Amino acid sequence: MIRARKLQKTYGSGERRLEVLRGLDLVVESGEFVAVMGSSGSGKSTLLHILGCLDRPTAGSYFLDGIDVLRLSDRDRSRLRAERIGFVFQGFNLLANLTVRENIALPFLYRSRPCRDIEKRVESVAAMVGMSRRLHHRPGELSGGEMQRTAIARALVIRPGIILADEPTGNLDSVTTGEILALFTTLHGDAGTTIVMISHDPEVVRCSQRVLLLRDGVLREKGCG
Amino acid sequence: MDKFLGIVADGLRSLLQHKLRSALSVSGVVCGVMAVLTMVSIGEGGKRETIGQIEQLGLRNVYIRSLELAGEEKDRARQHLSQGLSLRDAERIGVLLRGIDDIGVYRRSRASLLGTALKFSPEVVGISVGYQNIYNLQPAAGRLFGSMDIERRHTVCVLGAGLAAKLGPQGVVGAKIRAGDTVLTVIGIMAAADGRREESSILSLNNYDEMLLVPIGVDTELHGDSDGADAAGEELSEIVVRLTPDKNVDGGAAEIERLMQVLHNGVDDYDIILPLELIRQAGRTRRIFNIVLGSIAGISLLVGGIGIMNIMLATVTERTREIGIRRAIGARRQDILVQFLAESTILTLTGGLLGIGAGVTLSMGIGSLAGWSVAVTPYAILIPFITSLTVGLFFGLYPAIKAANMDPIAALHHS
């Protein structure tokens, strides 16, 4: 499903040149749960942005579901994100002026194909993440765990091929972290959703199938969970 | 289309969540549109009234008005054998020129009415039959002057409605009124003026309410300054020449001008006025007014537009993270552009609509309080509406482009 070869990402030039990814290879099969770990500044988020079609590598190739992403226009990459990729961020990234229901339904606004059962799908994913009773609340009225559940529901509602999670438990306490990771495990186990999760958290290692360590701009297999 | 409407609705929702800020940011547009609409409506009302008055003068008419000359100028004019505007001029125009449909003459003076309760000397207007025809005068009671009244100088009169009312029992048809040594018989009463048709300073568009109308020639007898034999030489106030429909008005006026120069031996003691030319002048004045108005409108809407751009730029900066989130979940640059453009357009359109409402109210209020003629025309509403829409699109474009071109990753990490 994900085929990335010799990915390079360099920022700046001359003396300020910074090589973040140095010929990184990555293959993630459909239905896999992969954790990417690494120290701060190792390029984990950069990798996730490239995988999520938000950024372009300096060199290399990247195929998502057989599509050569690097040949796509900005418009087509946006469409790919709207239809195949679900993002979950450390800072939740919900829109404060929208309710939980509206936040979850937001991705439908940018899909080219109209969806007739938006309400049904919103309620279904809200039930899946345990947010059915909070649909009319705004993010300011939610706890950190509830906000992350909402963000996960927003990522799930379009039935994406892949969920990219950037330190989703980074802002949560240990109890809530356990709940959110359990939710990801359930999603992976029940729905077979492909998940690539970036984390510092050793807990993530336990629930993922495969752990990759990003160091010196390349990925190394760490072991199985 | 659904997607577009969804994005526009999303923009509207964002605006409604900041009601006060939205209201303050459109205030400039509201004031601009209100000012434009009010000025256009007052200007249009004035224009219609002016053109209406000019048209009442008759677009096929040529007016020859007597000019008041100062002492020395008058002496010089008399030395050149010009006796001022006279009945002879009217007669010669009628005889010598072609394409003349009718000629009316008119002379104003004042006379004391003896044996009445009046505390003032009413204005006496000597008129010809031609004058009655050209202005299509209609009495409310009795009759107007016939050609026999003019030719034989019958001592008859027609009263303005206001004057008739003030004269009481003497202000009725058949009553006798004494002016100087002359006793006038009242043969008709004019209809009351409608109030709006006030005395014009341009030409003889008169409010006859307080006037005493007499056959031309009889008016001079009321002052005892003419024996009637030389009445043809008495200075007239005005001659009105109505040209036939097939006669070119400009050409006819030029012929009259040339003839008058000959008749008056080159003395400019008259003025030739063409209502058609007055309309053209009104049109030229109107164009200048439109340019001034357009400039004021442009400046006020520019200020309003800058206000909108300022608030939209602040909004884009404030919502940078939101833009990043929207891009991450699949929004295209175009979607972001449409959303912010929709917000600025909704703001200015709302401002435009509020401004139109306020402008119509203000125009009506000013018209009612000042007694001015105000005309709120469809274009007076349409122009500010379209302009506010254009302002919204134009001044919202730069902030929207700025939002759409943001790097999604940088936007996501914006704090």
DSSP calls for B146-179: -HHHHHTT--EEEE-HHHHHHHGGGSSTT-EEEE
Partners of A165 on chain B (C-beta within 8 Å) are none
Find the radius of gyration of the CA atoms of chain B: 33
pLDDT at A120: 93
Chain B contact for A82 (CB, 8 A cutoff): yes
pLDDT (average), residues B35-42: 86
> 3-state class of B204 per DSSP?
coil
Say if residues B67 and B268 touch (Cβ distance below 8 Å): yes
3-state secondary structure of B64: strand
Please indicate whether, in this complex, the C-beta atoms of A106 and B335 are within 8 angstroms of each other: no
Which residue, among A110, A116, A159, A162, would best test binding to B if mutated, counting the most B CBs under 10 Å from its CB? A110
- Listed in sequence order, the residues at least 6 apart from B109 whose beta carbon sits closer than 8 Å to its beta carbon are B123, B124, B126, B219, B220, B222, B223
Q: What is the mean pLDDT of chain A?
A: 90
C-alpha to C-alpha distance for B316 and A8, rounded to whole angstroms: 32
Q: Which residue has the higher pLDDT, B407 or B121?
A: B407
Q: Which is higher by pLDDT, B71 or B305?
A: B305
- How far A94 CA lies from chain B's nearest CA (Å)? 8
B325–A79 CB contact, under 8 Å: no
Q: Given an 8 Å threshold on Cβ–Cβ distance, is A78 in contact with B329?
A: no
What backbone torsions phi and psi does residue B63 show, to the nearest 5 degrees? -105, 135
Name chain B contacts of A95, Cβ cutoff 8 Å.
322, 325
Q: Do A109 and B6 touch (CB under 8 A)?
A: yes
Best CA proximity match to A112, nearest among B335, B264, B73, B80: B335
- Cα–Cα distance for residue pair B272/B202, rounded to 1 Å: 12
The bridge status of strand B123-127 relative to strand B139-142 is: unpaired
Name which of A90, A68, A155, A123 is nearest B330 in CA terms. Answer: A155
pLDDT for the residue numbered B1: 67
* pLDDT at residue B208 is higher than 90: no
Please check the confidence at residue B198 and state whether its pLDDT lies above 80: no
CA A86 to chain centre: 6
Give the type of residue at B78. Answer: R
Q: Give the total residue count for chain A.
A: 225
Phi and psi dihedrals of B22, rounded to 5? -60, -45
User: Is the distance from CB of B305 to CB of B394 less than 8 angstroms?
Assistant: yes
B101-132 burial, b at 16+ Cβ within 10 Å, e below that, comes to: bbbbbbbbbebebeebebeeebbbbbbbbbbb
Residue B322: per-residue pLDDT? 93
Decide if B332 and A93 are in contact by the 8 Å CB cutoff.
no
pLDDT at site B194? 60
What is the token pair recorded at B351? 């401002």
Average pLDDT over residues A138-148: 93
> A140 at the B interface (CB within 8 A)?
no
Taking the Cβ of residue A73 and every Cβ of chain B, the question of whether any pair is shorter than 8 Å is answered with no
Q: Check pLDDT > 60 for residue A93.
A: yes
Which positions in chain A touch B332 (Cβ < 8 Å)? 74-75, 78-79, 110
Q: Considering the entire predicted model, what is its pTM?
A: 0.71
Q: Which region among A13-22, B81-90, B360-369, B401-410 has the lowest average model confidence (pLDDT)?
A: B81-90
Mean pLDDT confidence for B386-397: 87
Task: Show residues of chain B in contact with A81, CB under 8 Å.
Answer: 328-330
Test A109 with B328 for CB contact under 8 angstroms.
no
Residue-wise pLDDT for A27-45, tens only, equals: 999 999 999 998 888 899 9
Read off the DSSP letter of residue A189: I
Distance CA A146, CA A129 (A): 9
Name which of A49, A51, A54, A115 to mutate to probe chain B: the one with the most chain B Cβ atoms within 10 A of its Cβ.
Answer: A54
Where do the DSSP E strands lie in B149-260? 156-159, 176-179, 182-190, 211-215, 238-243
What pLDDT is attached to residue A24?
92
Report pLDDT for B264.
85
Summarize pLDDT for A170-224 with one digit per residue, the tens. 888 888 888 888 888 888 888 788 999 998 888 887 888 899 999 988 998 875 4
User: What is the per-residue pLDDT for B104?
Assistant: 92
Task: Return the half-sphere exposure (C-beta side, CA atoms, 13 A cut-off) of residue A88.
Answer: 31
Q: Residue B200 pLDDT > 50, yes or no? A: no
Interface check for A89 against chain B (CB to CB < 8 A): the answer is: yes
- Helix spans in chain A (H): 44-51, 74-84, 100-105, 118-128, 144-156, 174-186, 202-207
Chain B residues 289-348 within an 8 A CB cutoff of chain A: 321-322, 324-335
A18 touches chain B (CB under 8 A): no
CA distance B397 to A212: 45
Is the dihedral angle over the CA atoms A26, A32, A35, A41 positive or is it negative?
A: positive
Report whether pLDDT(B199) > 70.
no
Q: Is the distance from CB of A194 to CB of A224 less than 8 angstroms?
A: no
Tokens representing B411 are 């936007």
Q: What percent of chain A has pLDDT over 90?
A: 60
The answer to whether residue B74 scores a pLDDT higher than 80 is: no
**Residue A86, CB half-sphere, CA atoms under 13 Å: how many?**
26
pLDDT, chain B, mean: 84
Residues 6+ apart with CB under 8 A from A27: A2, A3, A4
The alpha carbon torsion through B114, B117, B119, B123 (nearest 10 deg) reads: -60
Residues of chain B found within 8 Å of residue A89, distances taken between Cβ atoms: 328, 412
pLDDT tens digits for B270-317?
889 888 888 888 888 878 887 887 788 778 878 888 888 998 999 999
Q: Is the CB of A82 less than 8 angstroms away from the CB of B329?
A: yes
pLDDT for A152: 92
Look at residue B275 in the predicted model and tell me its pLDDT.
83
